[in-house]
Amino acid sequence: MPAGSRTNLSDLAGGVGANSPVAQRGRPSGPPTSAPLEKLAGNPRNPREDLGDLSDLASIAERQLQPVLVVTRKAYLELFPEDAELIGDAKWVVVTGNRRLAAARKYGCTVLEFVIKDDVAKDKVTFLTAAIDENIGRRDFDVLEEARAVDQLATECGSADGAAAQLKRSKGWVSQRRAVLQLHPELQAALRAGELAFRAARSLARVPLEEQVAAWQAQQERAANKTNDESPKPAPGPKPASAPRIAKALRRFEPEPAVLAQALRDYLPAPMLAALVEELHGSR
């Protein structure tokens, strides 16, 4: 309104309530930003088979601090039409935030906030990268699940170099993860349980499959032997002394007989002390 102009009462009436600029800005526009849980499906391509302990997300029943990232059903099924039964009637598929979705279901949250980004589903490489990227570096991300996810991405990219570029990791990092998939099942179980170090697993993966378990057992035996060799040895005991050496040591003192007798009582166990007395008596 120009400065100095008069305000028409009808103009004011028309600018309040639903017609006010503030109300117009507050009206929702564009796609929805939240939905009941039954409208959301977890990501069938989530690299994590086990979502782990969800207790750190129990507060989601009261407040959701971060929205999940979703794609529409249409965008997802254009990439993975074979997953139609897995997502059921859901309108959106969660790409990142599957632990939050699981926690919401577990702790009684009925509605979840989300952000729709269908460009994440523009191709399989982009979609898989987004799902993997969320989990890499997490302490509870199972090493074999990570390896399978990286291997799937490398296959989709056509090379380890392509997967490395997508994940912003080195080619060696990608190759090392893929290598552990060549381990014998017994060694994979040991790796998962923390009994087999990742570095050792990488070297064992280069051994023929049928020889891997024996090679690992040999490594364990060598490590055990090395530990035994390096264990502290007991201090050497006193060396047997000859009579001249003892006499030489006693000359450094001028002990009274009573003092010498007391010293011997303190030093010698009772059987040796009795044998000494007999020896002294016999030498008279």
Strand order in the sheet with 111-116: 34-36, 111-116, 68-72, 92-96, 40-41
Question: With bands split at pLDDT 50, 70 and 90, how would you rate the model's confidence at 86?
Answer: very high
Q: Are the CB atoms for 173 and 147 separated by under 8 Å?
A: no
For 47, the 3-state DSSP assignment is coil
Higher pLDDT, 180 or 141: 180
Question: What is the rounded average pLDDT for all residues in the chain?
Answer: 82
Q: Are the CB atoms for 93 and 73 separated by under 8 Å?
A: yes
How much is the average pLDDT of 41-55?
89
Instruction: State the pLDDT at residue 239.
Output: 62
Rounded Cα distance, 112 and 103, in Å? 11
Instruction: State the pLDDT at residue 31.
Output: 65
pLDDT digits (tens, 9 = 90+) for 160-210: 999 999 999 999 999 999 999 999 999 999 999 889 999 999 999 999 999
Instruction: State the pLDDT at residue 225.
Output: 83
User: Which string of DSSP letters, residue by residue, matches 100-129?
Assistant: HHHHHHHHT--EEEEEE-GGGGSSHHHHHH
Rounded Cα distance, 46 and 94, in Å? 9
**Size (the chain), residues:** 284
What is the value of pTM for the model shown? 0.64
Instruction: State the pLDDT at residue 5.
Output: 47
For 94, the 3-state DSSP assignment is strand
Q: Show contacts of 266-269: CB within 8 Å, 24+ apart.
A: none
CATH of 31-140 among 3.30.2010, 3.90.1530, 2.60.98, 1.20.120: 3.90.1530
Question: With bands split at pLDDT 50, 70 and 90, how would you rate the model's confidence at 80?
Answer: very high
Asked if residue 20 has pLDDT above 60, the reply is no
Rounded Cα distance, 257 and 251, in Å? 13
Instruction: State the pLDDT at residue 179.
Output: 93
Residue found under tokens 């997300």 = 57
| Domain range list for the chain | 31-140
Query: CB neighbours of 110 closer than 8 A, spacing ≥ 6?
Result: 36, 37, 104
Instruction: State the pLDDT at residue 9.
Output: 39
Structure letter (DSSP) for residue 235:
P
